[in-house]
Amino acid sequence: MKVNNFTDDISSFSYRYGLIFRTSIAGKPVVVSADPEFNNFIFQQEGKLVELWYMDTFSNVFVLEGESRMNAVGAVHKYIRSTLLGLFGTESLKEKLLPQLEQVINKSLSAWSTQASVEVKHVASAMVLNFSAKQIFSYDAENSPENLSEAYSKIIDSLIAFPLNIPGTVYHQCMKDVLKERRTSPESHRGDFLDQILKDTEKEKFLTEDFILQLIFGVLFGTFESMSAIMALSFTKLSEHPSVLEGMIAEHEAILKNRENHPNSPLTWDEYKSMTFTLQVINETLRLGNVAPGILRRALKDIPVKGFTVPAGWTIMLVTSAQQLSPNTFHNPLEFNPWRWKELDSRVISKNFMPFGGGNRQCVGAEYSKVFLATFFHVLVTKYRWTLVKGAKVSRNPILGFGKGVHVKFSEK
Ligand code: HEM
């Protein structure tokens, strides 16, 4: 069979396979794919035919070359992934984090309800970042001299605007101080992520100070934009679809009723698992939200695809977001309709709905995000009522944007 190179005959390729085509971004050749077969295949090829590649902006922040580069799979990635899953994975959520999450959410909503209104994305970012940072390095938002979420959002704004050197920022200085304190007083054992990686520095040579700082930055980066964008979008969608909100209220009131004599007892794992409709609302918001508009990889070797070849070195952009908006899978794809999930087959879902990516780089915060959102809705609809004071014009550039923000007034029920 004749194997063409993308560079040989691009036009006939894009004509024949509209879901995969070639373009260029910042002068570099990129193969863009919304093809479910190819995208699923590429997710399984991490470290074999492809590796993670977020182009130049991120290579100024994260080490993407050399032995301890963050994008390679292998011992370093395995160590980080399993350590993070130990912290944010299902077992930890079930055994430890769920009651803590409920407490933090209760506290946040109670504080928000004392204000005339709050901008949801802003306050949700701080809530999620502070909770995640507490698990990672025992960050204490109430007593810390530095406001981590303010320092962090400055970095994110500039990161998107221009390449940035992390050293010199308030974030970097704050984290260096945290590391120094831990190293000089090893007796202050906190049982967090930082304790564990500092304990492993002898054994794992790649755990240098710079690496640890970048790693913590990277994990917080994962939590910061994504969760708050989904929360802001939820409020926008729920205000447009009161019947969905009513469905959630009914589901959560039934949970309280089933507790019989203990309506105020903490949320249990079984109760979380029973929130069928709420989890469908979360799926629908993730589907429309498409927090990761494209997932980027670099071809390590020539990759054959449908009679053509993606040459080694080229960038591949997996546009899973387009799959999630495909009318072939999702009838009336732009409509916010959580009930659609009742009808969808689980095999169709796993192939076409990948808000958390796939393969061995699938988001380590996937279950954490769902538990966080479900617990948030549980507290919200059982204890509070809210009104949208000022909605936002939702945009995509390519990151989900909320113009002047989603302003909500919360009040106790
Ligand atoms: C709505 C919320 C979230 C969405 C939609 C999301 C989405 C994603 C996606 C699409 C990837 C794969 C990226 C790729 O393959 O290049 C990913 C990876 C990752 N996410 Fe998330 N994420 C979310 C929340 C979180 C949270 C809360 C954490 C914090 C624990 C987190 C930590 C990570 C990490 C560490 C990775 C890299 C995993 C690896 O390379 O092995 N994410 N996320």
Across residues 119-137, what is the average pLDDT? 94
- Give residue 3's pLDDT: 45
Known binding-site residue numbers? 363
For the chain, what are the domain ranges? Answer: 1-64+291-354
Specify the residue with its C-alpha closest to ligand 1, atom 3.
226
What are residue 20's DSSP bridge partners? 33
| Beta carbons of 253 and 378 less than 8 angstroms apart | no
Specify the residue with its C-alpha closest to ligand 1, atom 30.
365
- Give residue 262's pLDDT: 82
Nearest atom within ligand 1 for CA of residue 291: 5
148 close to ligand 1 (CB < 6 Angstrom):
no
Q: Is the pLDDT of residue 157 over 90?
A: no
Token pair for 298: 């670099």
Token pair for 151: 């320092």
Q: Where residue 216 falls among pLDDT bands split at 50, 70, 90?
A: confident
Across residues 124-153, what is the average pLDDT? 86
What are residue 376's DSSP bridge partners? none
Q: Where residue 163 falls among pLDDT bands split at 50, 70, 90?
A: very low
322 close to ligand 1 (CB < 6 Angstrom):
no
- Give residue 330's pLDDT: 96
Please tell me the distance from the alpha carbon of residue 247 to that of residue 252, in angstroms, as a whole number.
9
Nearest atom within ligand 1 for CA of residue 354: 10
Whole-number Å distance, alpha carbon 221 to ligand 1 midpoint, is 9
What is the three-class DSSP state of 52? strand
Helix axes 242-258, 366-383, angle to 10 degrees: 90
User: What class has domain 1-64+291-354?
Assistant: alpha beta
Whole-number Å distance, alpha carbon 259 to ligand 1 midpoint, is 34
Q: Please report, rounded to a whole number, the percentage of residues in the chain having pLDDT higher than 70.
A: 86
Name the least confident of 161-165, 187-191, 217-221, 233-237: 161-165
ipTM of the complex: 0.99
Q: Is the pLDDT of residue 26 over 50?
A: yes
- Give residue 166's pLDDT: 60
Mutate which of 219, 363, 375 for ligand 1 pocket (most atoms within 8 A of beta carbon): 363
- Give residue 43's pLDDT: 96
Known binding-site residue numbers for heme? 363
Across residues 345-366, what is the average pLDDT? 94
- Give residue 302's pLDDT: 95
pLDDT, one tens digit per residue, over 231-278 is 999 999 999 999 999 999 999 999 999 997 787 899 999 999 999 999
356 close to ligand 1 (CB < 6 Angstrom):
yes
Q: What distances in angstroms separate CA 54 from CA 63, 64, 218, 294, 333, one per listed residue? A: 11, 9, 13, 10, 28
| Cis bond upstream, residue 167 (ω within 30) | no
Nearest atom within ligand 1 for CA of residue 88: 30
The more confidently predicted of residues 217 and 250 is 250
- Give residue 256's pLDDT: 95
pLDDT mean across residues, the chain:
86
Whole-number Å distance, alpha carbon 366 to ligand 1 midpoint, is 7
Whole-number Å distance, alpha carbon 367 to ligand 1 midpoint, is 10
pTM confidence score = 0.91
- Give residue 271's pLDDT: 97
Return the half-sphere exposure (C-beta side, CA atoms, 13 A cut-off) of residue 208.
Answer: 8
- Kindly report the number of other CB atoms within 10 A of residue 206's CB atom: 19
Whole-number Å distance, alpha carbon 127 to ligand 1 midpoint, is 18
Q: Please report, rounded to a whole number, the percentage of residues in the chain having pLDDT higher than 90.
A: 57
Nearest atom within ligand 1 for CA of residue 220: 29
